[in-house]
Amino acid sequence: MASLARFSRRALRSAQTIANRHVESPQLLHTAERAFATQAPNSITASPDRVKWDYRGQRKIIPLGQWLPKVAVDAYVAPNVVLAGQVTVWDAASVWPGAVLRGDLNKITVGFCSNIQERCVLHAAWSSPTGLPAETSIERYVTVGAYSLLRSCTIEPECIIGQRSILMEGSLVETQSILEAGSVLPPGRRIPSGELWAGNPARFVRSLTHEEIVEIPKLAIAINDLSRDHYSEFLPYSTVYLEVEKFKKSLGISV
Amino acid sequence: MGTLGRAFYTVGFWIRETGQALDRLGSRLQGNYFFQEQLSRHRPLMNVFDKVPVVHRDAFVAPSASITGDVHVGHGSSIWYGCVLRGDVNNISIGSGTNIQDNTLVHVAKSNLSGKVLPTIIGDNVTVGHSAVLQGCTVEDEAFIGMGATLLDGVYIEKHAMVAAGALVRQNTRIPYGEVWGGNPARFLRKLTEDEMAFFSQSALNYSNLARAHAAENEKELDATEFEKLVRKKFARGDGEHDSVPNLSDDVLLDKSSKAS
């Protein structure tokens, strides 16, 4: 059985190197590096000086220098989220799983009762092409839909940003406006108050009716309610130390 | 006094034992819905049988990134938080000084409508923006892929070209030197000026430096991070937004991380 496995492994490796060499010929770049890679190591040898990440996985809060991301007491930040640098998440806000808030070049604030849904990326550039401050600030009662990308933009109170939207540097979404899903705001664009914009690049669609405007903070509050359920699933302190102890015991390491 | 200190210590232990017993009681009350925290089994670098990622020592790989299979990452490059580089059916090669920003997806094509099987090759000093999706494409040196862009199979991005944010570059498109393409489907928008092209290499360099700061922070061991938390708490002062009442300045905006980490 073992010899069969060894034989098949050798066959697979030779097949792979043949395939690699075949692919290599039309490439213009890094032929040297590619050649190096074709002699693929036949076992996982992590380079000895390569950092090995431990069982903690990815830390949620990454301080950079003297900047420490601050999360309010009743804000829900999923354990999957990465907050790095100057990030402040204010009360009743929620940041859903998979989001990355990177305040390493400039500040990021998530306002009261706002929510950043799944897999968003919030970043702030060093400087902004418009006169607006280059920090990404999301005011109160803003809903940022899933998979959105926000870079150095300012979102005034009570807005809805649709899913998969892209807001580029220096853009401003004024209060009580809605950006439809999939819209792209080029750098320095402004969405006036009380309007619905959509498209790539975002264009004016229509004005919002009064009923719709009233719904906007209600949506934020509804998502806040939902985040309470998620938040209550987590104990204030992690109990992973129990798993570590079990693990060590099973390996015979004295606890 | 010795005995008093010892008494406090013992009582403290009793209270902690009680707390642990209560935790076990509560878990049993929760019954089937009791959750058990697991150690993170996430592996930033993972092999698929004999396809092994070869990542240069200087490259920053975020712990939440997933580099799987036949991926080669050059020196000074950075793979940011939440990226997935899946070289399982073909190979991915990333040059030096390149940054693959957060939540990006780099795939390879195994089967294709046209039948060509393509590796993904990304050159030196390329900036790939947040949440981009690159599949089976070739990107030459010093190019700039805007955030949220989607590059499909067979796309070839020449040197100093730029793909605008949110663009969808369809199969087998070739984007020539020094042009900006954008939109869905991607069309030629305009030509880049010399300044803008110089900016790309500068941005790649900036990102390398930023990556080093993040790498240093992420590498820290548990002892170092806990110590720093203590230091911060000790020297923290109220921010300008809150009245600096000396004892309460910590409570107003409590650092949740110290509890949940």
Interchain contact, B54 vs A37, CB within 8 Å:
yes
Alpha helices in chain A (DSSP H): 2-24, 31-38, 210-231, 240-251
- pLDDT the model gives residue A235: 80
Q: What is the pLDDT of residues A57-84, one digit of tens each?
A: 788 888 888 888 999 999 999 988 999 9
Of B103, B147, B255, nearest to A166 by CB-CB distance is B147
Distance CA B90, CA B110 (A): 7
Query: Is the pLDDT reported for residue A148 higher than 90?
Result: yes
Cross-strand pairs, B182: B187
The ipTM of this complex is: 0.77
Q: Closest Cα partner for A87 from A97, A75, B38?
A: A75
pTM of the model: 0.77
Q: How far is A215 from chain B (nearest CA, A)?
A: 28
Does A198 contact chain B (CB < 8 Å)?
Answer: no
Sheet containing strand B162-163, strands side by side: B60-61, B78-79, B99-100, B127-128, B144-145, B162-163, B179-182, B187-191
**Binning pLDDT at 50, 70 and 90, where does residue B250 land?**
very low
Average pLDDT over residues B154-166: 90
**A82 → closest Cβ in B52, B82, B213:** B82
Does the pLDDT value for residue A10 go beyond 70? no
Per-residue confidence (pLDDT) for residue A53, from 0 to 100: 59
A113-127, B122-136, B239-253: segment of lowest average pLDDT:
B239-253
CB contact (8 A) between residue B148 and residue A164: yes
Q: Residue A201: closest CA among chain B residues belongs to which residue? A: B183
Q: How confident is the model at residue B104 (pLDDT cuts 50, 70, 90)?
A: very high
Average pLDDT over chain A, rounded to an integer = 80
Subunit contact B39:A55, Cβ cutoff 8 A:
yes
- Determine contact: A56 vs chain B, CB below 8 A: yes
Nearest to A58 among B63, B221, B232 (CB): B63
Using an 8 Å CB-CB cutoff, list chain B residues near A40. Answer: 50-52, 54, 70
B9 three-state secondary structure: helix
pLDDT class of B183 with cuts at 50, 70, 90: confident
Residues of B in contact with A119 (CB under 8 A): 82, 103, 131
Tell me which residue in B54, B72, B130 faces A121 most closely, judged by beta carbons.
B130
Predicted pLDDT at A121: 94
Residue of chain A nearest B211, judged by CA positions: A104
Return the axis-axis angle of helices A2-24 and A31-38, rounded to nearest 10°. Answer: 170
DSSP, collapsed to helix, strand or coil, labels residue B146 as coil
Give tens-digit pLDDT for B69-96: 889 998 889 999 999 998 887 889 999 9
- Least trusted range by pLDDT, from A17-26, A114-123, A125-134, B14-23: A17-26
What average pLDDT does range B180-200 have in this prediction? 87
More confident residue, B102 or B41: B102
Average pLDDT of the residues of chain B: 82
Q: For residue A230, list chain B residues with Cβ-Cβ distance below 8 A.
A: none
Q: How far is B144 from chain A (nearest CA, A)?
A: 15
Give residue B255's pLDDT: 40
**Which H or E element spans position B201?**
helix B194-218
Chain B residue closest in CA terms to A234: B260
Tens of pLDDT, residue by residue over A194-240, are: 999 998 888 999 999 999 999 999 999 999 999 998 988 888 777 77
- Over the stretch A78-99, which tens digit does the pLDDT of each residue have? 988 999 999 999 999 999 999 9
- Whole-number Å distance between alpha carbons of B138 and B133: 13
Which pLDDT band, with edges at 50, 70 and 90, does A255 fall under?
Answer: low
Please give the interface size between A and B, counted as residue pairs whose CB atoms are below 8 Å apart: 195
Q: Do B50 and A102 touch (CB under 8 A)?
A: no
- pLDDT category at A252 given cuts 50, 70, 90 is confident
Answer yes or no: do B210 and A244 touch at CB < 8 A.
no
Q: Which residue has the higher pLDDT, B234 or B241?
A: B234
How distant is the Cα of A19 from the closest Cα of chain B, in angstroms?
9
Half-sphere exposure of A111 (CA within 13 A, CB side): 18
C-alpha–C-alpha distance, residues A83 and B81, integer Å: 10
pLDDT tens digits, B130-141 = 999 998 889 999
The CA distance from A211 to the nearest CA of chain B, in Å, is 31
Residue with the bigger pLDDT between B204 and B34: it is B204
Average pLDDT over residues A106-113: 92
